[in-house]
A and B are shown apart, each in its own frame.
Chain A
Amino acid sequence: MPAPGKAEAFATSIPLELTAGRAVRVTVPAKIAFNLDQMQKVTQEVLGRLGCDKCHSGWDIRFKLEEDFFVDERGNVRGGIGGIGG
């Protein structure tokens, strides 16, 4: 019985290619680009972000999460979902 989710093994570097001696070209696989905030913890959740995602009639907290994660003046990231539903 195959274990799901083991199909993609990720390398740890991106290919860099110099083009025509004029520019630095960086190749970024699109499925990775959505996870720049996680960098080395790449997941495959991106597909659900582009499709139709209305399986519930609740409160979509993604915007609140994004708003609440803010960097303070010292460069610290703060925020989380602890306040949801309160």
Chain B
Amino acid sequence: MEAFLESLADLVTVVEIEPETFWFESGPSGDPYHADPTALERLRSFPEAKLVHGVGFPVGGSRVPDPRHLPLMAKVIEDLGSPWTSEHLSFNQAESPGEKFHTGFLLPPLQTPEGAEAAAASIREVVKHLPVPFAVETGVNYLHPRDGELSDGAFVSAVVSGADCGILLDLHNIWANERNGRQSVDAFLSEIPLERVWEVHLAGGLEHQGYWLDAHSGEVPAPLADIAARVLPALPNVRALIFEMLPTFFPRLGIHGVRKQVELLHGLWALRRGKPAEVGARPQPIVRMRRGHDFVTPAAWEDTLGALVIGKKGEGCLAAELAADPGARLLQNLVRDFRAGMIVSTLKLTSRLLMLHGGKSLLRNLLNDFWSSTAPKLFSSSEAQAFADYLEKRELEVPHLAEVLAFERAVIHTLITGETRLVRFRCDPMALLQALGERRLPDTLLEGNYEVEVTPETGVAFGVDSRLFGPLPS
């Protein structure tokens, strides 16, 4: 990240920061959430302007996001000097009898007047605790349009009017919706209050299972760039234009490719007319619809769709309707891929050991079994710890699994708490870990009593003088 920013220092003037990516769910202070102070300090040192964009506590549902995150969010916003902040018009929490659960994915809210009012109420509650103005991001929706629902644009309009907030216009999301059979971009834009748009997102996507995905996977498609060129001059209050791309895809574009994208943004930005007006806009009336016989509450929608995408079977008309939507099946797959991605990123060596020992099918089968009994976690560290708990209970006969798993648990624990952990090995740990790091099973390992001390200190890289290894004489 820093390397890219440094090489693009002549072009990049604003950086959008997703703070929850460097948050943990628990830590030494006992607070429910805490931010890695080192990461925060590094971000603060960036010379570019910063915008704080939430990704973990969307505001589109009927349940107000966990209010315990708001003090930390407010602190991050103030520390980074973000002039406004934003979150998604989506939901990620639901309930089944006896338990609340995370959906593992940002999901589309119920697009009815009741859904719009529920989202607006959530936003109004969140905004009370934030030190800067708030904008809501227009989301992607892979589901078919439903009979009787508000159009995408009318829904967004109703929400922002009811909440009196700004709009983060994610044009790639809106374009993806059009490509996937929902409202056209032009129709959407004709229905939202353009003067409320403070920020625009552009990104690339990809085709997957018959859908165009908001994957942040590369270049802004040319047709989308053309749309942006038409739209930006019509946004009197737009203050920022952001290009989104996942680090996973940096190697694909390379620094030259990223530079071209930022240059594209500069060209688009230059198309705006005149000076921006003050942030804030007149309220819009909420669209009213007549309640039909198949009335669904926002909470019922969230619980039904949420259960479906994490693999639970639902009952009733709505569950049957959603289950028949190919978009819901896509969401199920995307949730599973997200969860698997969290596991292989946080328990990388454990995952490799399992695959090297039992093939890809072993890890896939274990994950499927784990997912059948455990709902997604919001934070990767929690998902990893839950999977580690599951593996320990399984007591698999995989050589060195217990040691590698204990090592990776220790790493996670140390990163979150700052506490040193000691892990015992009955073989040369570095030979074992290095082999897995190189995606291979180790050769013959020296046996002995070894301890690996996982420490929180930075500033030391990993290099091994093999002459110092080997069991000590007893």
Contact = CB atoms under 8 A, between A and B. Distances in A.
Interface of A: 1-19, 21-40, 42, 44-67, 69-71, 75, 77, 81, 84-85
Nearest to A21: B472
A13 B463 CA distance: 5
Contacts, number: 277
Contact of A85 (B207, B338, B411): B207
Interface string B449-464: 1111111111111111
B298 interface: no
Nearest to B335: A60
The 9 A-B residue pairs with the shortest CB-CB distance in the complex, in nearest-first order: A5-B2, A58-B215, A36-B437, A62-B341, A63-B340, A85-B206, A10-B461, A60-B341, A52-B56
17 contacts: A7-B42, A11-B459, A13-B463, A24-B471, A25-B450, A25-B451, A31-B458, A39-B434, A45-B1, A48-B21, A49-B342, A50-B379, A52-B378, A56-B203, A57-B334, A58-B205, A81-B252
A28 B461 contact: no
A24 B445 CA distance: 14
A30 B411 contact: yes
A47 B247 contact: no
A37 B459 contact: no
Given A47-B21, A58-B206, 18 more contacts: A4-B2, A24-B451, A24-B470, A48-B247, A50-B379, A50-B416, A53-B342, A55-B244, A57-B106, A58-B246, A58-B334, A59-B215, A61-B341, A65-B248, A81-B248, A81-B249, A81-B251, A81-B252
Contacts of B343: 63
Contact of A62 (B248, B436, B439): B248
A40 to B, nearest CB: 6
A52 B21 contact: yes
Interface string B397-434: 00000000001101110111000000010000110011
B111 interface: no
Output the residue of A12, A32, A63 with the most chain B CB within 10 A: A63
Interface stretch (B119-127, B183-191, B227-235, B347-355): B347-355
Residue among A47, A51, A66 facing the most chain B CB atoms (10 A cut-off): A51
B166 to A, nearest CB: 19
Interface in B166-183: 173
B415 A31 contact: yes
B18 interface: yes
B465 interface: yes
Contact of A40 (B345, B424, B462, B470): B462
B439 A70 contact: yes
A26 B337 contact: no
Contacts of A77: 438-440
Contact of B462 (A8, A35, A46, A81): A35
